Structure 1
Amino acid sequence: MHCPNSGQLGEDLVAQWLQSTGWIILHRRFSSRWGEIDIIAEYTRKAEEAEEAGEQGSRGAVREFSTQQSLLAFVEVKTRSSGSWDVGGRSAITPQKQAKIWRTAGIFLAQYPEKADYSCRFDVAIVYCQRISKNLTGVTANQEALATSSVPGYKFKLQEYILAAFDSSIDNG
């Protein structure tokens, strides 16, 4: 089974889901000589949200986040069919791929120095593409998945969103 434009449709689903949860999409398919980042998103937290989080979490984390209100997520999207060979895309995030994403994120931050002091993380979204017979369109919430969308003949499920999937302190050598 091969879904036309499955990578782009998977990225579309993830971008729509991020926006529905309060993120602003800054770039799609940001490229540098090192590689490409599928989605770069920003989340700005209000001071009240940081205080509420502090009541439930550690106080040290709140003080750190209170001075740093914005967060950047560099998101790698892996769209796969159910029988994919690489564990739903997880094994495709090799140390070499991580290093390319990290370097490309550095290029992005150099181009946008006003965002250089933001907290950053590297997330991975796992999207499954499945052949269906109904011709439905749209994005809906689903208990089995974080979000779903359909195009004629195919259904996409945002199955997993892995926060801080890899560390930014990768050996660049």
Structure 2
Amino acid sequence: MADHSPYHYLDIGIAGEDLVAQWLQSNGWVILHRRWRYRNGEIDIIAQYAGQQETRKQGETRVSKPESSDNTRETFLTPSLSSSPILAFVEVKTRSPNNWDAGGRNAITKHKQAKLCQTSLMFLAKYPEKANYPCQFDVAIVHCQQMSQGLAALTISEQAIATLSVGEYLLMLQEYIPAAFDT
């Protein structure tokens, strides 16, 4: 059956990654790479947090943090003070609400985690100047819904961390899980 919508599965996945990348940038992260590939692996987003900058005001040292309207989210996104930048290897799962794999959470299997870890090691081998940075594997859960579903989309978007409209779709960053798994 032909897909008559202006976006197909791959485009929606990229749009979900766009939403997460924009949101990370708005929280002080620098996007180093998108869809970084090596052999059989791919990392959706590789982001770097350069650390909090100290600023002096009237002889006092303060720590400036990214703006956030929700302190719990700020805690998740703002790593603790560190002498070196932090790298995040971010896996983005874009799904329709109430789907079969818990919004993409069940797709992060042990096999997928191992593949992400192996791909991240190849990234660090290619960029040895970043090899000593603390690293974490984050997961972003994005819901995608056609806007023609009306008020249901608006109700869901109120609970979202961030939203993005793409064509006839509304994408909602529902959950960002820092350090989602250990390697």
TM tier, smaller:
0.7 to 0.9
Q: 1:66 to 1:91 in 2, by over 3 A?
A: closer
Equivalent position to 2:30, from 24, 28, 39: 24
Partner of residue 10, structure 1: 16
Pairwise CA RMSD: 2.6
The AA in structure 2 aligned to 1:35 is G
Equivalent position to 2:145, from 126, 130, 146: 130
SS of structure 2 residue aligned to 1:15: helix
SS of structure 1 residue aligned to 2:148: coil
Partner of residue 100, structure 1: 115
The AA in structure 1 aligned to 2:18 is D
Equivalent position to 2:39, from 8, 33, 49: 33
> Identity rate of aligned residues, in percent?
58
Corresponding position: 1:67 with 2:83: yes
Partner of residue 71, structure 2: none
Equivalent position to 2:159, from 120, 144, 150: 144
Count of aligned pairs? 152
Deviation string 1:23-68 (CA, Å, 9 cap, x unpaired) is: 110000111124100000000113539x859xxxxxxx96xx5433
SS of structure 2 residue aligned to 1:67: coil
Partner of residue 155, structure 1: 170
TM-score (norm 1): 0.79
CA distance in 2 between counterparts of 1:27 and 1:67 reads: 22
Segments of 4+ in structure 1 off by > 4 A? none
Partner of residue 50, structure 2: 44
SS of structure 1 residue aligned to 2:115: helix
Which runs of 5 or more residues in structure 2 are unaligned? 56-61, 65-78, 150-156
CA distance in 2 between counterparts of 1:33 and 1:124 reads: 22
Q: Is the 8 A contact 2:161 2:173 kept in 1?
A: yes
Which runs of 5 or more residues in structure 1 are unaligned? 54-60, 135-141, 169-173
Report the alpha carbon displacement of residue 6 of structure 1 after superposing the two structures with TM. 1.1
Q: Is the 8 A contact 1:79 1:126 kept in 2?
A: yes
Corresponding position: 1:76 with 2:91: yes
